[in-house]
Chain A
């Protein structure tokens, strides 16, 4: 079987799956009386038509990529991180704290410091479920979800209390937000007229880093071994619990850094609702991207597209943006189901033989 055929086969199946998902989605769209074809074209193509809209898609893809990379590390190591949402909030707080504390530092010092602070805050928050799982066998599903609640309340408390913008106190409006962060922490917006910032390169760099870590180093090997079969990993002398904690810390760090990039690149101050559910969408992106950086990057783009497309359908076609969430859900379900088909080597072999006999025939015809 040739490599090209393998790729072609997988791409075809994924394409068919997306088509199937869209077909199911169209039933739902029909029930609310929407124009199905128009809705889909708006979601999928409208955002790509202007530079501004495309830049907005990429803007959403940045945090999604970073979070999904972290989640794939955890997943590959055998621990499921549902706590990216909380870890991202902690990252935002960490970055904000550094930016507020050292506003006079030059950019070359402050920016890395702030991003690292975000990473450390998120990583520390990821450490908690990791160590609980390693030492006390606490289910990470339980602990990460609970820690999300705690983080959300802690975040609100910080924005309403210690980090509240002094200007808000004076004016008395009391919008829970921090003061605008110093200019030297801002990520540059390199495309005039858009909000697209240099965080995109950082995200791509992290994708490369994760690829190297997981597949090219002995650490990645051990993490993947621990995730794939903890018993065999332990037998092979790998300290499984240790790598579990490490993976969770890395996962949290990435969510934290996503928060740091989001605040430094887009909002430039901590506000409520800044995570936009990225922490949860990130899980979907990670799985959708096959837990591999090469899949996660395009998957993030696709999800960015859906987010912007949802906005536009609301304006252009009158289909509520929430409907697009429903579509998202359907697509995920279909793709996850498709994984079973993709993993079936027999089917692939069968298709390969059919394909061969087909090409043989056409060759004979040609001859």
Chain B
């Protein structure tokens, strides 16, 4: 059965304005997409990309402005209206039921297959086959969602959206959770699909913007700052327009620093949440004044290592010597007081108390310090002073210091954490995925801060999956694989190829 809908030959958003408490999220935005066009919507975190798309999808109502499809004004009161008009959006977080099959998940939204007492699954199956063939998107309808990789789940989301009759796709950061190979596949796929339908995709990865889009619209602080054809501009131009200034991620170009041994991890065994040994006799030494990058595919023990050092996870055996003192199995508080700084992986739930205000979060570790409390009574004045100082120094963009930290954007939350950790003058710093999901401007800022701390003679353990980040910043690179350090390389010996091989578990790269 072929389901036919009228094509969407043009979509325009005119003078869209949307205000949120304290922010102008969309400021008189105009954009238009023609048939078969791919529009890249780029901008830093918090620039208003997602808000704009949510308005288009009927999740928010614009305060001013209108939306036209095929030159006719439409009003979407809810996402259902937008679906009915042929718009489909794939969100950053996939909305799939893990313990149901692909077929069942797609049937959930497929209203044509529903009647009072019967769900026509074979009709859904036919539709999936039809869409798969048309767009070259192959999925196994009988696989359970939990069995699928992130990339495959995304494909299911795409098929789902298309099955429901979308003739216009909106993709919110489609590659943010994908591996490099999956990303390449997706780009090829989307390119093929763009001959059949129009696509808006949100991204801040400039390479894929270049690869995929015809047109580009750059948002900054809720307003369109640039609009043009993609092929006429280089990625560095786009980056500069995005952030408002030239962006160059800083490099660690100074000579290696010979400081004293700061952190000496000896033969530790640590269990994961599921009970198996996540770290098996791991050894690693880091000196003051050097950045050691820990490269590895995530899930090889990085989280357990960071938590074990910080007293948040039990160490089964082995020693963690911190300036000569064994801190294995000490309380988190003890480790903090010995001078450890820690930027955790989960910045939204672990690095801050989301319901607490900005100023409160900045003293999370220091409520007992003389500076902020007197006989346990908090000194509000110095707490506010501290928050105001750090807000300026770390360029935390928030309406004031009394907003809930959880309401800030990811980049600003990371700056709050960084501000707190660095202002405590740590003797050592552990940074886990410090720029994951952040835009270039925020990443640049955070890298500069880390390098600055290195210059001050602080040792840093940088845990990351991004090889560029590791190669940019590290003095030495350690590669972790299945809970052990594969090899430690000097910066001059480390490159994408050698690290990639080690990360895959091959120890002797000479053999290849």
A binds B: yes
A235-B20 CB under 8 A given contacts A218-B368, A218-B376, A221-B378: no
Verify A234–B312 contact, CB threshold 8 A.
yes
| Cα–Cα distance between A222 and B368 once the two chains are bound (Å) | 10
Within 8 A of A (CB), among B324-352: 331-333, 335-337, 342, 344, 346, 349-352
Verify A232–B331 contact, CB threshold 8 A.
no
Query: Looking at the complex, which of A95-103, A193-201, A343-351 is the stretch in contact with chain B?
Result: A343-351
Least CB distance from B367 to A in Å reads 4
Verify B377–A346 contact, CB threshold 8 A.
no
Verify A225–B354 contact, CB threshold 8 A.
no
* Size range of the chain A interface in the assembly: 20 to 34
- Our pick among A218, A232, A239, A346 for the contact of B349 (Cβ within 8 Å) is A232
- What A residues does B335 contact at CB under 8 A? 237
Verify B336–A237 contact, CB threshold 8 A.
yes
| Cα–Cα distance between A219 and B367 once the two chains are bound (Å) | 8
- What A residues does B376 contact at CB under 8 A? 217-219
Least CB distance from B75 to A in Å reads 18
- What B residues does A212 contact at CB under 8 A? 377
Verify B21–A228 contact, CB threshold 8 A.
no
Verify B21–A348 contact, CB threshold 8 A.
yes
A232-B378 CB under 8 A given contacts A221-B360, A237-B331: no
* In the assembled complex, A339 has its CB within 8 A of some CB on chain B: no
* In the assembled complex, B355 has its CB within 8 A of some CB on chain A: yes
1/0 contact trace for A187-210 toward B, CB 8 Å?
Answer: 000000000000000000000000
* In the assembled complex, B353 has its CB within 8 A of some CB on chain A: yes
* In the assembled complex, A315 has its CB within 8 A of some CB on chain B: no
Q: Which residue of A lies closest to B420 (CB)?
A: A236
A235-B367 CB under 8 A given contacts A225-B356, A346-B20, A349-B19: no
> Which has the most chain A C-beta neighbours within 10 Å: B346, B353, B360, B364?
B353
- Our pick among A218, A346, A353 for the contact of B367 (Cβ within 8 Å) is A218
Least CB distance from B324 to A in Å reads 22
- What A residues does B373 contact at CB under 8 A? 217-218
- What A residues does B352 contact at CB under 8 A? 229, 232
- What A residues does B349 contact at CB under 8 A? 229, 231-232
Least CB distance from A43 to B in Å reads 36
- Our pick among B21, B354, B372 for the contact of A229 (Cβ within 8 Å) is B354
* In the assembled complex, B365 has its CB within 8 A of some CB on chain A: yes
Within 8 A of B (CB), among A236-251: 236-239
Least CB distance from A348 to B in Å reads 7
Least CB distance from B333 to A in Å reads 4
Verify A218–B378 contact, CB threshold 8 A.
yes
Least CB distance from B434 to A in Å reads 15
* In the assembled complex, A267 has its CB within 8 A of some CB on chain B: no
Verify A225–B21 contact, CB threshold 8 A.
no
- Our pick among B20, B355, B356 for the contact of A349 (Cβ within 8 Å) is B20
CB-based closest 9 A-B pairs: A237-B333, A218-B367, A236-B364, A228-B355, A237-B336, A345-B21, A349-B21, A229-B353, A232-B353
Q: A231-B350, A346-B20 are in contact. List 15 more A-B contacts (CB 8 A).
A: A212-B377, A218-B378, A221-B360, A225-B364, A228-B354, A228-B355, A229-B352, A232-B350, A232-B353, A235-B342, A235-B351, A237-B331, A237-B337, A349-B19, A349-B21
